[in-house]
Chains A and B, each alone.
Chain A
Amino acid sequence: MKKLLLYLTIFFTSIQFSSAQDDGKKEDRIQALYVAYITQELKLSTDEAQKFWPLHAQFDSEIKTLRTEMPELDRQQAALNIKKKYQESFVKILGAPRTNDFYRKDGEFRKKMIDRLRQMRQQNNFNQRPNMRRNLP
């Protein structure tokens, strides 16, 4: 019995372990895509990128404190507050027009992600439920 407990502990520990590592990698992939996209779209120079991305990491960590569970308007307000807070610092690095561009491109990247997600969902649903239409009245 105790032995079983021991094995179970080791088993779950290892699972938690590996899943935690996977999560880190997964997030990294999209993060890399994001960095690549923004860098390319804003045509960031090496110098600009060196200043911009550390600041963006700070900005991002604050944005990530927002939760979907919050009332939608509160969430939008909070996001706007954070953006306003960082506005000045972003402008110092990028200039005002490109800071605007950054926000637009950030939105565009998200839209790309949503599109991709929709594509995958629709494909999945089509593959999994090909008879759906027939079930209709």
Chain B
Amino acid sequence: MSNPEIISELSAISKSVAAIPRVNVFSVPTDYFNTLSNSILHTIHTELLFKPVTINLNVGEVPEGYFEGLASQIMNKIRDGKESLAEETKNISMTVSKIGNRNVFTAPEGYFESLSEVINLRIPQPARVISMKKRTSFFKYAAAAVITGLIGLSVFTVLDKKESGHSNKESLAVMEKASEIIKNKTFDLELRNVSDKEIEQFLTESGQDVNAALVASVIDESNLPATDEYLIDDRTLDEYLIKLNLNN
């Protein structure tokens, strides 16, 4: 404690502190710290373990008959000393006191009876899905029909174009066939393969009356019945026509 360096440093910082004489002012009796723990334990034992009952009893003393009237006394104090409930709420908040005891929530008459129905109405009904299905199937087939029609039409228009555009090709095919017929001399053979419908069409197309032409050709080639035969039998002409067997 008598380090001259420390003393000089201390006096440089504060001379008044350095001037204080370096003496220990705190002192204890001899053997104080040796017996301290024992004396503390002794105190704890004597105060807490051996005298607890006396301590509690000393605190809990009340006047006689204190507990008998206590509840009613408290209730009376609450009733008398303070304002009514309405006054109390009025003091706390004017707005709340204005509402009072009224039921501010009201519902129209019969509201809760019809409530479930109203809710049910608002729920979207799944039954409509069926009708939607029907509709889609109808549209599906309608669309299919339309598409088929369009395809059909387009095919026809394409064919028409081809027919008009390739008429040269067609006539070329006819020419080739014709030259084949000439070369192979198959005219009669080909003629035999042609159907009567085809011939009819060919003749009619150029405006010829096929039936009239047929009768005319028959008359050209066959001999008409002799004049006498008409005189003998008036059915001769009928028979003649039947013989020709032209009626279709």
Q: Which residues of A contact B (CB under 8 A)?
A: 2-3, 5-6, 9-10, 13, 17, 20, 23-24, 26-37, 39-40, 53-54, 57, 60, 63-64, 66-68, 70, 72, 75, 79, 110-118, 120-122, 124-126, 132-133, 136-137
Given contact pairs A32-B178, A36-B178, A121-B246, A68 touches B209 in the complex (Cβ within 8 A): yes
Cα A113 to Cα B197 in complex, Å, equals 11
Q: Which residues of B contact A (CB under 8 A)?
A: 138, 141-142, 144-145, 148-149, 152, 155, 159, 163, 170-171, 173-175, 177-179, 181-182, 187, 190-210, 213-214, 217-218, 221, 235, 239, 242, 244-248
Interface residues of B: mostly helix, strand, loop or mixed? helix
Given contact pairs A6-B148, A57-B171, A113 touches B177 in the complex (Cβ within 8 A): no
Cα A27 to Cα B191 in complex, Å, equals 13
Given contact pairs A13-B152, A36-B182, A53-B175, A30 touches B194 in the complex (Cβ within 8 A): yes
B193 touches which of A29, A110, A118 (Cβ 8 Å): A29
Cα A122 to Cα B207 in complex, Å, equals 23
Cα A121 to Cα B81 in complex, Å, equals 138
**Extra contacts besides A35-B174, A70-B207 (18): CB < 8 Å:** A2-B141, A6-B148, A9-B152, A24-B170, A26-B201, A29-B177, A31-B202, A32-B181, A35-B175, A39-B179, A113-B203, A114-B199, A116-B192, A117-B196, A117-B210, A118-B218, A120-B196, A125-B245
Residues of A within 8 A of B145 (CB): 2, 5-6, 9
Cα A120 to Cα B217 in complex, Å, equals 14
A33 touches B159 (CB 8 A): no
B208 touches A6 (CB 8 A): no
B198 touches which of A26, A37, A112 (Cβ 8 Å): A26
Query: What are 12 A-B contacts defined by CB distance under 8 Å?
Result: A2-B141, A6-B141, A6-B144, A6-B145, A13-B155, A30-B199, A33-B191, A35-B177, A36-B181, A114-B199, A117-B200, A126-B245
A116 touches B191 (CB 8 A): yes
Most central of A26, A54, A63 by chain B CB within 10 Å: A26
Residues of A within 8 A of B200 (CB): 117
A125 touches which of B177, B193, B201, B247 (Cβ 8 Å): B247
B206 touches A63 (CB 8 A): yes
Given contact pairs A29-B198, A37-B187, A114 touches B213 in the complex (Cβ within 8 A): yes
Residues of B within 8 A of A20 (CB): 159
A26 touches B197 (CB 8 A): yes
Residues of B within 8 A of A136 (CB): 239, 242
Given contact pairs A2-B138, A35-B178, A68-B208, A30 touches B198 in the complex (Cβ within 8 A): yes
The 5 A-B pairs with the shortest beta carbon distances in the complex, nearest first, are: A66-B207, A2-B141, A32-B177, A35-B178, A36-B181
Cα A20 to Cα B192 in complex, Å, equals 23
Residues of B within 8 A of A118 (CB): 214, 217-218, 246
A32 touches B190 (CB 8 A): yes
Cα A28 to Cα B178 in complex, Å, equals 10
Cα A112 to Cα B192 in complex, Å, equals 11
Quote the shortest CB–CB distance from A111 to chain B (angstroms).
Answer: 7
Given contact pairs A26-B201, A29-B193, A116-B199, A67 touches B149 in the complex (Cβ within 8 A): no
Residues of A within 8 A of B213 (CB): 110, 114
B214 touches which of A33, A35, A121 (Cβ 8 Å): A121
Given contact pairs A2-B138, A66-B207, A39 touches B199 in the complex (Cβ within 8 A): no
